[in-house]
Structure 1
Amino acid sequence: MSSLGFSSPGFLQLLYILKFFCLLPLVIGSNETESDRQALLCLKSQLTSSAEVLSSWSNASMEFCSWHGVTCSTQYPRRVTALDLSSEGITGSISPCIADLTYLTKLQLSNNSFYGSIPSELGFLTQLSILNISMNSLEGNNLVGSIPDTLGHVPTLETLAVDLNNLSGQVPPSIFNVSSLTYLGIANNSLTGRLPSNIGYTLPNIQELILHNKKFSGSIPSSLLNASHLQSLFLTNNSLTGHIPFFGSLQNLKILDMAYNMLEAGDWSFVSSLSNCSKLTKLLFDGNNLQGNLPSSIGNLSSNLEQLWLRNNQISRLIPPGIGNLKSLNMFYMDCNYLTGNIPPTIGYLHNMVILSFAQNRLSGQIPGTTGNLVQLNELHLDGNNLSGSIPESIHHCTQLKTLNLAHNSLHGTIPVHIFKIFSLSEQLNLSHNYLSGGIPQEVGNLINLNKLSISNNRLSGNIPSTLGQCVILESLELQSNFLEGIIPESFAKLEGINKLDISHNKLSGKIPEFLASFKSLINLNLSFNNFYGPLPSGGVFLDTSVISFEGNDRLCARAPLKGIPFCSALVDRRRVHRSLVLALKIVTPVVVVITILCFLMIRSRKRVPLNSRKSMQLKPHLRQLNGDMEKITYQDIVKATNGFSSANLIGSGSFGTVYKGNLEFRQDQVAIKIFNLSTYGAHRSFAAECEALKNVRHRNLVKVITVCSSVDSTGADFRALVFEYIQNGNLDMWLHPKEHEHYQRNFLMLSQRINIALDIAFALDYLHNRCATPLVHCDLKPSNILLGLDMVAYVSDFGLARFQCTRPNSDRDSLTSLSCIKGSIGYIPPEYGMSEERSTKGDVYSFGVILLEMVTSISPTEEIFNDGTSLRDLVASNFPKDIFKIVDPTMLQDDIDATEVLQSCVIPLVRIGLSCSMTSPKDRCEMGQVCSEILRIKDALSKIDDE
């Protein structure tokens, strides 16, 4: 019997074969792990960083699983499964050899300084579930190129974040087909594309979708409403259009940011649907095309809502009182819309509010006292409205305020002392452009942390308090255009860090302090139009005339050569010469008068320069100044805009031309185009006067000029036109006398509307008379020159007869804007204009008085009943005050208010103002600032009656 020996060749061969197969996994595993190590070293070769970050990544080290940022699997063979090098200050490009890490599930390289393109080889990492390469430098990532299509073929990818790069091109459609994605962030690149129509089905697990790219277009797909796991949706800064969808089905939604697109609100029912999103904390629709009324359903939104941003839209009408239901709100932005009416007192229920902004709207009424309940408030922006009444003292309860901006309103009364006890005010306190009166409280010195203080363009009087010097952090101090007196306090020497100091247009006097020259941070110092005297300080800011303004202080002088100001020695000599000149003038004046008369007669006898040529030469400088920063247009542009001067576009005519509505290519909204008939005597001068006036005035109640056209028509003749904002609601004359204008169906003006219109006109005249550098006289104030917007805000228009009230009667400006043959419109011309060429602001006051009486009675001063030599003023005065009810327009009194109380509290005071303004003697007439204050009181009185 034979047996097999252990030493037989066949058995030994079998042992070798078995050994090979046993060692084979070890060999293969060794090769795979070495491949991962080499891939990491290859990646390192493209990178630079601080010594300690990648110091462990070394050829000498075989244990790469312990290298910094590297995570390996626990089973043999150990493979790299995660690479996390976020926020390590690494610079370099991402090497394609990273694709050799075939077991990689997480790649986290965010917040570094990687540059170059994203390697397409990343698409080979089929097990990758998290990819984050966002925020790769403080300036934004430097990754360029397009997103590789291969990334859309990684079936396990859960997170893709390539935000803040310079990526461009089309977003690969395959990206939206990775059903495993829970986070997709491709924001702040230059990528283009549209959202796929089936996105809600292809990304069923998506939780965060961040696509603010600036270049996504089209509408929002309705399928997105099926992404039921969606928690955060960011579509900011794109070009998305259409109506906002009903997102109510996304009940996990926490953040919805669709700001700065071109989305529309439709009937606003999307707001009602959002009430189903009970987890919603942030809702941002600012910078879109939302129009119409904010619905009351806004108050039904999630009780968890913390941020509501609706700024920079076209939202109109009232703020719903239900807004007070949103108790968790801490940021509410409604600025830059068309909101009207009052701020609802329910705003005081929002106790968590940190930032509240209703700025740049058309809100009226008083600031509700409940504002003081917002004890967490950091910023309150109510500027650029028509808010009236006094500043509520309760606001001092907002003890965490850093910014308080109430500028550009119609607030009156004194500045509450309590405001200066809000010690937290550090960024700005802005009360400018109101009608505040009285002195600046000494308590202003409490604001030792304040950076900017502006109380300019009010009616403040008295001295500048020395306590202001305690506000040593101040960088900007604006006190201009008040009635402040006295000297610049010596305590201002402590304000060494100030950048801007404007105390112009006051009644300050004394010498300019020397310490101002030592202020090294000062880049804007305006001392103009005061009564300062003596030598200017030497050195520092006073060596740079581009930084300092001191015009209108005739008794200042300079110790060294300085443009526009005399030497101090010359000023002394000038005073001596002045006394001699006074005596000489008494002798010389009669001779000069005779010579002047002879010269005048000689000029009249000479052949005159053709009128059109002379006017064209005079107009050029005014056109340049008016049109310098405006869109240039031609005659052909005007023809196209008015559809060939179509009669369908004609909206009015006057003494010097016609007015059309039209559309210019560079503007979306309609414009009003005033075309001058240059063949009419005085039309050239009217055009010049309007250019001269409009280039110097800016006010919310003055019609805004858009551009000017000075060209030639199709025949080669001179052509002149002015382009204004189109005011949609006609003029005041149409509303007061609808039958004469065939507007039988037009609504009548209620008393509250008439008071607001009168106040708007008064504000405009107060600005023209008292707030301009040189007082401007309108000279043709009448109801047809008062335009009304959709919200019934009044705009004074037609400055064709306007002139600046100059102290030099023979100046060029005076001659340019003086029209000897026409001084206004019958019925509104003050009596002194019929006897003299002299026109003054008191003439405008007279016209305003007549308009006010006409608004109360709806009786025109040119009606036939006044042919016997009587006037509207005579009629009103004869019935005032006992029988005033006989001539008051009954349509303006509401049925649901006490007519007797309204007559006593509102109508009679209005009539009294009208009678006072239309007195025969100019010196007996009111001043427009006083008129504004009186009408504000009447408005407040009516508001209290309505509340009752």
Structure 2
Amino acid sequence: MRNFISTKALLPLLLLLHLQFLFLYHVCSDTPVSSAPMEKAEQEALYMVIQGFVGEGWNVSGLYPDPCGWTMIQGVSCDLFDNFWYITDINIGPVLENSLECSPDAKFTPQLFELKHLKSLSIFNCFTSTSHQPTTISSQNWDKLAKNLETLEFRSNQGLNGEIPSIFGQLTNLNSLVLVDNALTGVIPQELSNLVHIKRLVLSGNQFSGSIPPSLTTNLTELLIMDLSRNSFTGALPASFGYLTSLIKLDLSHNILNGRLPNELGKLQNLTLLDLKDNLVSHGLPQSLQNLVSLQDLLLSNNPLGGDLVSFSWENLSNLTTLDLSNTGITGSIPGTIAGLRRLRYLALDNNHLTGNVPQKLASLPWLNTLYLNGNNLTGILEFPDDFYKRMGRRFASWNNTNLCYSTVETLSVGHAPYGVQQCKHEQHVNVLSSNPNVGDGDKDQNSSIMASLGFSSSFHEFWWVVLVQEVVVFTILILML
């Protein structure tokens, strides 16, 4: 006999729980706002900060009387400290449908620096107007947030200009400073080198200039991501980059950096991305780069790099998936050792001064889906199999190599021949005869029809055709003699 509780026995218990829920709901809903565990000064400071961004018409008291309780504000998070609620995160900008959005006259208010437990501040697409009075980041009072602030982000604020305040260097607990796609100018302040616990430094898409301070790369030994792309930084990369041994991603693309790549880059054993495209880097690939055993993406296109590929030990970069050396002025041949990069997906060597043959072994790379070789001085025969051309399609480019042709040793399907490359001349005549019955001497069609009527294919060898005619003639004479 199974043990069970009858439905009738459960009803009183369910009813009691329901009554308790109604009582708690009634008590909580009737609790006055003043009894919420949040300091009044903290609450008023929050309202003033938000009003500064979204406008004074924002109804704070009616819509959000309890911003850390029953009526939480989208983009605002709280936490308990000493039995009181305090603001820990503020996210302003059109991230979600009901996110707080800035007004055209958005501004910083001094009450921001009264939120002493603030851990994260993110302002997205807020200061967008360039016709109004320019908006700059406040240069004072950030030190009041130094004890707790860990994340500071300004993204897509085209109306936000001026320089990075040097006082940011006092935010010593920051682990993420992101200033992306704004209109900020000036140089990187030396004071940022005090952010010794920072993990992510992203300053891309602004109008910064000057050189990269060596102290910045000497002290930030815990840095994981550095992105200074799409600015106007100049000068050579300092050797102090070798101190960033924790670095995973380094993006310095789209600047005016020049000189040689420092050998110290080879010390970045954890680096997975090295992006320096669209700069003025020269003097070839340093041998030390072959020590970057974790590297997955090496992007150096559009630099006057020079040098060659043969003297580099490519097989050491066994994790490489993307190699872009297009328009870098490299010379010499394509080494077969590149075929040892078994994880390679994208290989761009176009618009250089490469010579010699194209290694057939490149077709053996199992994941390769893009290969650009166009605009070089490559010679010889492309002997890739048909399935290689079929797999690559237009993602294989080898045009503008005058002395390069393709072989049909393995018959190519219709439309799979490499675009912009001529068929090798010594194969053209043979292929024309075997593939086009309408090309040849004037009796080709007639002969083909006779042979077909006798059960022979039109590709029958000329020699055997002559033998066949002779046999027919002899056979006819014998018939007439009988």
Output the TM-score relative to the length of structure 2: 0.71
1:395-544 aligned within 5 A: 395-426=265-296, 428-440=297-309, 441-515=311-385, 517-518=387-388, 521-523=391-393, 524-530=395-401, 531-536=403-408, 543-544=414-415
Tell me which of 59, 63, 77 is aligned to 1:196.
Answer: 59
Q: Could you tell me which of 375, 398, 415 is aligned with 2:245? A: 375
User: Is the CA contact (8 Å cut-off) linking 1:380 and 1:403 kept in structure 2?
Assistant: yes
- Give the one of 156, 160, 177 matched to 1:290: 160
Partner of 1:255: 120
**How far, CA to CA, are the matches of 2:27 and 2:265 in structure 1?**
56
Q: Distance in 2 between matches of 1:436 and 1:80?
A: 79
Residue identity opposite 1:433 in structure 2:
N
Partner of residue 457, structure 2: none
SS of the equivalent of 1:459 reads coil
Deviations 1:798-828 (A, max 9, x none): xxxxxxxxxxxxxxxxxxxxxxxxxxxxxxx
Structure 2 counterpart of 1:306, from 160, 175, 182? 175
Once the two structures are superposed, what CA deviation does each residue of 1:630-682 show, in whole Å capped at 9, x if it has no partner?
Answer: xxxxxxxxxxxxxxxxxxxxxxxxxxxxxxxxxxxxxxxxxxxxxxxxxxxxx
The verdict on how the C-alpha distance between 1:378 and 1:60 changes in structure 2, with shifts beyond 3 A counting, is farther
Q: 1:272 aligned to 122, 140, 148, which one? A: 140
How many residue pairs get aligned? The number is: 391
1:315 to 184, 191, 206: 184
The alpha-carbon deviation at position 273 of structure 1 amounts to 2.1
The aligned runs of 1:114-153 (5 Å cut-off) are 126=25
Aligned 8 A contact 2:237 2:257 in 1: yes
Residue 243 of structure 1 pairs with residue 114 of structure 2: no
Cα distance per residue 1:60-85 (max 9 Å; x no partner)? 656769xxxxxxxxxx967687xxxx
Partner of 1:357 in structure 2? 227
Q: 1:482 to 1:556 in 2, by over 3 A?
A: same
Judge conservation of contact 2:370–2:396 (CA < 8 Å) in 1.
yes
> Any unmatched runs of 5+ in structure 1?
1-57, 66-75, 82-100, 106-123, 130-153, 158-175, 183-191, 214-226, 561-565, 571-948
8 Å Cα contact 2:363-2:388 kept in structure 1: no
Distance 1:244 1:263 in 2: 14
Are the aligned partners of 1:496 and 1:520 in contact in 2 as well (CA < 8 Å)? Answer: no
Decide whether the 8 Å contact of 1:504 with 1:529 is kept in 2.
Answer: yes
Q: Where does residue 860 of structure 1 map in the other structure?
A: none
Greater radius of gyration (CA): 1
Superposed displacement of residue 367, structure 1? 1.3
> In structure 2, what residue type is equivalent to 1:284?
E
Query: Does structure 2 retain, via aligned residues, the 8 Å contact 1:287–1:311?
Result: yes
CA distance in 2, matches of 1:537, 1:178: 86
SS in 2 for 1:364: strand
Displacement of 1:268 in angstroms is 3.9
Q: What code does the residue aligned with 1:533 have?
A: C
Q: 1:308 corresponds to which letter in structure 2?
A: L
Evaluate the alpha carbon distance shift between residue 517 and residue 239 of structure 1 in structure 2; reply closer, same or farther with a 3 A threshold.
same
**Shift of residue 457 of structure 1?**
0.6
C-alpha separation between the residues in 1 aligned to 2:263 and 2:8? 74
**Structure 1 residue 394 and structure 2 residue 259: aligned?**
no
**Per-residue deviation at 1:502?**
0.6
* Structure 2 residue aligned with 1:940: none
How far, CA to CA, are the matches of 1:63 and 1:180 in structure 2? 40
How many angstroms apart in 1 are the aligned matches of 2:267 and 2:212?
18
Cα 1:64–1:423 change in 2 (3 A) is: farther
Answer yes or no: is the 8 Å Cα contact 1:485–1:506 preserved in 2. Answer: yes
Letter in 2 for 1:406: L
Which position in structure 1 is the counterpart of 2:80?
none
**Aligned AA (1:410):** L
The 5 Å alignment of 1:667-746 reads: none
Contact map agreement 1:517 1:539 (CA 8 A) in 2: no
* CA distance 1:290–1:486, change in 2 (3 Å): same
Paired with 1:276 and 1:258, the residues of 2 have a C-alpha distance of: 19
The change in CA–CA distance for 1:484 and 1:59 in structure 2 (over 3 A counts) is farther
Deviations 1:13-67 (A, max 9, x none): xxxxxxxxxxxxxxxxxxxxxxxxxxxxxxxxxxxxxxxxxxxxx99656769xx
Task: Using CA pairs under 8 Å that are at least 6 residues apart, name the structure with larger relative contact order, 1 or 2.
Answer: 2
Q: What is the CA–CA distance in structure 2 between the aligned matches of 1:177 and 1:273, rounded to whole Å?
A: 29
C-alpha distance in 2, partners of 1:391/1:62? 81
C-alpha contact 2:142 2:167 (8 A) present in aligned 1: no
**Which residue identity lines up with residue 346 of structure 2 in the other structure?**
S
Give the equivalent residue in structure 1 for 2:438: none
Distance change >3 Å, CA 309–CA 501, structure 1 → 2: same
AA partner of residue 376 (structure 2): N
CA distance in 1, matches of 2:72, 2:427: 68
Q: What does the per-residue CA deviation read over 1:731-773, in whole Å, with 9 as the maximum and x for residues that have no partner? A: xxxxxxxxxxxxxxxxxxxxxxxxxxxxxxxxxxxxxxxxxxx
Paired residues of 1:240 and 1:263 also in contact (CA < 8 A):
no
**How much has 1:294 moved relative to structure 2?**
1.7
Aligned partners of 1:347, 1:439: CA distance in 2, in Å?
A: 32
Tell me the equivalent position of 1:346: 215
- 1:331 aligned residue (200, 223, 229): 200
Structure 2 vs 1, CA of residues 480 and 207 (structure 1 numbering), >3 Å: closer, same or farther? farther
CA contact (8 A) 1:272 1:298 kept: no
Is contact 1:240–1:261 with CA below 8 Å preserved after alignment? Answer: yes
Asked whether the equivalents of residues 204 and 228 of structure 1 are also in contact (C-alpha less than 8 Å), the reply is no
Runs of at least 5 residues in structure 2 that lack an aligned partner in the other structure: 40-53, 77-83, 95-99, 434-482
1:207: Cα distance to partner?
12
TM-score, normalised to structure 1, is 0.38
Which residues in structure 2 correspond to 1:577-596 (within 5 Å)?
none
Q: Distance in 2 between matches of 1:350 and 1:388?
A: 23
> What CA distance in whole angstroms lies between the structure 2 residues aligned with 1:532 and 1:59?
85
Counterparts in 2 of 1:156 and 1:509: CA distance versus 1, 3 Å: farther
Contact preservation (8 Å) 1:228, 1:250: no
Deviations 1:327-380 (A, max 9, x none): 111111111111111111122111111111011111111112111211111111
Coordinate RMSD, CA, aligned: 3.9
- Once the 2 structures are TM-superposed, how far is the Cα of residue 322 of structure 1 from its aligned partner? 1.2
Q: Where in structure 2 are the equivalents of 1:829-908 lying within 5 Å?
A: none
Q: Residue 261 of structure 1: CA displacement?
A: 2.5
Return the alpha-carbon distance in structure 2 between the equivalents of residues 501 and 537 of structure 1.
Answer: 21
The correspondence for 1:232, drawn from 89, 107, 125, is: 89
Note the 1:916-935 alignment, pairs <5 A. none
Compute the displacement of 1:228 (Å). Answer: 7.6
- Identify which range, 317-326 or 259-268, moves more after superposition: 259-268
Measure the CA separation in 1 of the matches of 2:425 and 2:109.
Answer: 69
Shift of 1:466: 1.0
Question: 2:242 is matched by which residue type in structure 1?
Answer: G
Report the equivalent of 1:656: none
Pair 1:554–1:284, CA change in 2 (3 A): same
User: Residue deviations 1:424-474, cap 9 Å, x none?
Assistant: 112x11011000111114312211111111011111011111111111111
In the aligned structure 2, how far is the partner of 1:127 from the partner of 1:420?
Answer: 69
Counterpart residue identity of residue 400, structure 2: F
Contact map agreement 1:513 1:537 (CA 8 A) in 2: yes
SS in 1 for 2:87: coil
CA contact (8 A) 1:557 1:567 kept: no
Describe the SS at the equivalent of 2:138.
helix
